[in-house]
Structure 1
Amino acid sequence: MSELPFAATTPISVSRVGLKAKDADKLAAYYRAVVGLNELSRDGSVITLGAGNRPLLDIEADRAAKPDDPRSAGLFHTAFLLPERADLGRWIRHAIDQRIPVDGASDHLVSEALYLTDPEGNGIEIYADRPHESWNWHGSHVEMATIGLNVPDVLATVPADNAEWKGAPENSVIGHVHLRVGDPKEAEAWWHKEFGFDTVAVYGGQAVFLSSGGYHHHIGANSWQSPHAGKRDAGRTGLSWVEMRSANAKTNETREDPWGTVIRTVPDKA
């Protein structure tokens, strides 16, 4: 079994994400078939999906909800981190075989990623990190870029005798969550104050990337689609909450960021 990715070993990391959906069954089926999550439980209107026995995604049914507004604050994407590069290769082969539509494929220097959109408009990233010892740091900032993904190179890492995609492998985690916000500088200040996160990259005044423990980012926040957005409308589909796992937390806590996005914290029981 692969080791737990570095992203999940830092003092604070992303635990899971909650989504509100008009059709929870259809959305859960998508995450099972496309992302490779397995259904762990159902509790009333909530379907919990995960990898192995690790819960990663809660989908709550709300048929009365209005569709998400991509210009508002909310979810840009949930990023599912696979333990090894070969796992990403297996997923790419699965996507090719199943003709799964993708929105993009990028090499970010620190990671390699593919991007999708689920049936209710929620962004998804499926990625694998390069070894964190190989990342280039310039002081407190990590070097990241967006260039074309060398798909054949990733596919070449898949062993011929273990090429089949069998779903998200054990120790897959949510490596990061990228949020739509009204003001990245305000988001940066909030994550500094509430979680003690470090700023590891800034893209002009439109995006900021923050982390704990030297990861390339646990949280991204951008205003590319949502400049000057106000408080979120809780009656829309999309992001319900983000749950962080913290070695510093003694009890469960709930906060709201400046746009009303619910950020939960749970103690790290590892």
Structure 2
Amino acid sequence: MAASEHPSDMPIHVASSELATSDLKRLSDWYGRTLGFEVIDETSSRTVLGLGGTALLSLVHDPDAKSAPRSATGLFHNAYVLPRRADLAAFLGHAQTIGVQLTGASDHLVTEAIYLDDPDGNGIEVYWDRPRKDWPLGLAGDIRMATDPLDLESLMIAMPPEGEARLPAGTRLGHIHLKVADLAAAESYISGVLGFAKQVDYPGAGFFGSGGYHHHVGANIWASRSGAPAPEGSAGLRSYTVTYADEEGLSSAVERCLQAGFEVQESEMGAAATDPWGIEVQLVAAS
């Protein structure tokens, strides 16, 4: 395990994602106003957003993009992890101030999380990790997770005197949660090909992580069991980036992709493949 417990310091992590939208300006402005994301790079057809100079989300313009059916596979949510519990409290206060409609607030035992949707209906989770020593374990040493109501009163007590309207610069994409058609196929790809270990079994879902982290990738069939990939040209998730600690880890992942029958192409960053749900996966090395 890495000396740090942060998800982005594990041997494999998910660094960023890319969404297609028919209204680039509206979505970019929303992420700026609601999450405090800054424009890192911008063209007429693409905007890269992030915090503190770290890219977290790319938005690509597709004027014909339309919402996919609810039963289609694809994105369940992008999940942004905050450095401190106080940051989550500050974000909750900010969301209330600007009138953001939350879709949920949960205590997952290992995390506390707030949920919302962007204007295109892409799910977002904002959360903080409890210290790893406090994660509950089962008899076999497996990580236990649940979906309990979040104690909002307790969280608000943790709000700093002057809460920031933006997420802090240390925010990262802690995990990505996917809607899949079949959990066995998801495990075969996320674990067997990408290299994440199965960490948590959950009703209708599986959670996969690296370095003992509860999950860098989640997969569920709650609305997408036996579902088809989103139609070509749909709005929503187009790609996500999986980062390996070094070139050796990247090379091993590429080899597993090829052995499993997935086509791999060289990309500007490293390699690119398409997952079983039609989503491009950028495979890169941190060093």
Q: TM-score, normalised by structure 1?
A: 0.93
CA distances 1:209-261 after superposition (whole Å, capped 9, x unpaired): 10111111000111111110133322100001011111122661112221212
Tell me if structure 1 keeps the 8 A contact 2:50–2:57.
yes
Please list every run of 5 or more consecutive structure 2 residues that lacks an aligned counterpart in the other structure. Answer: 252-268
Task: Specify whether residues 181 and 66 from structure 1 end up closer, same or farther in structure 2 by C-alpha distance, changes over 3 A only.
Answer: same
Deviation, 1:98, is 1.4
Matches within 5 A, 1:23-42: 23-42=23-42
Equivalent position of 2:52 in the other structure: 52
Equivalent position of 1:267 in the other structure: 285
**Identical-pair percentage:** 35
The answer to whether structure 1 residue 105 and structure 2 residue 105 are counterparts is yes
Equivalent position of 1:256 in the other structure: 274
Matches within 5 A, 1:231-246: 231-246=229-244
Tell me if structure 1 keeps the 8 A contact 2:68–2:230.
no
Tell me if structure 2 keeps the 8 A contact 1:19–1:238.
yes
Equivalent position of 1:129 in the other structure: 129
Distance in 2 between residues matched to 1:69 and 1:175, nearest whole Å: 26
The answer to whether structure 1 residue 159 and structure 2 residue 157 are counterparts is no
Equivalent position of 1:15 in the other structure: 15
Deviation, 1:7, is 0.9
Tell me if structure 1 keeps the 8 A contact 2:90–2:159.
yes
Distance in 2 between residues matched to 1:241 and 1:191, nearest whole Å: 15
Tell me if structure 2 keeps the 8 A contact 1:232–1:261.
no
Please list every run of 5 or more consecutive structure 1 residues that lacks an aligned counterpart in the other structure. Answer: none
From 200, 220, 223, the counterpart of 1:222: 220
The one-letter code sitting in structure 2 at the alignment partner of 1:121 is: G
Tell me if structure 2 keeps the 8 A contact 1:231–1:259.
yes
Distance in 2 between residues matched to 1:108 and 1:244, nearest whole Å: 24
Which piece of structure 1 moves more, 60-69 or 103-112? 60-69
SS in 1 for 2:102: coil
Distance in 1 between residues matched to 2:281 and 2:63, nearest whole Å: 24
Distance in 2 between residues matched to 1:68 and 1:84, nearest whole Å: 35
Equivalent position of 1:193 in the other structure: 192
SS in 2 for 1:137: coil
Tell me if structure 2 keeps the 8 A contact 1:75–1:178.
yes
Deviation, 1:140, is 5.4
Tell me if structure 2 keeps the 8 A contact 1:5–1:83.
no
CA distances 1:85-127 after superposition (whole Å, capped 9, x unpaired): 1100110111121121101110101000011111111001011
Tell me if structure 2 keeps the 8 A contact 1:249–1:268.
no
The one-letter code sitting in structure 1 at the alignment partner of 2:186 is: A
Distance in 2 between residues matched to 1:111 and 1:208, nearest whole Å: 16
RMSD across aligned positions (CA): 1.5
Distance in 2 between residues matched to 1:164 and 1:259, nearest whole Å: 39
Deviation, 1:12, is 0.6
Task: Specify whether residues 191 and 256 from structure 1 end up closer, same or farther in structure 2 by C-alpha distance, changes over 3 A only.
Answer: same
Distance in 2 between residues matched to 1:264 and 1:132, nearest whole Å: 29
Q: TM-score, normalised by structure 2?
A: 0.88
Aligned residues: 263
Deviation, 1:66, is 2.2
The one-letter code sitting in structure 2 at the alignment partner of 1:252 is: G
The answer to whether structure 1 residue 212 and structure 2 residue 235 are counterparts is no
Equivalent position of 1:202 in the other structure: 201
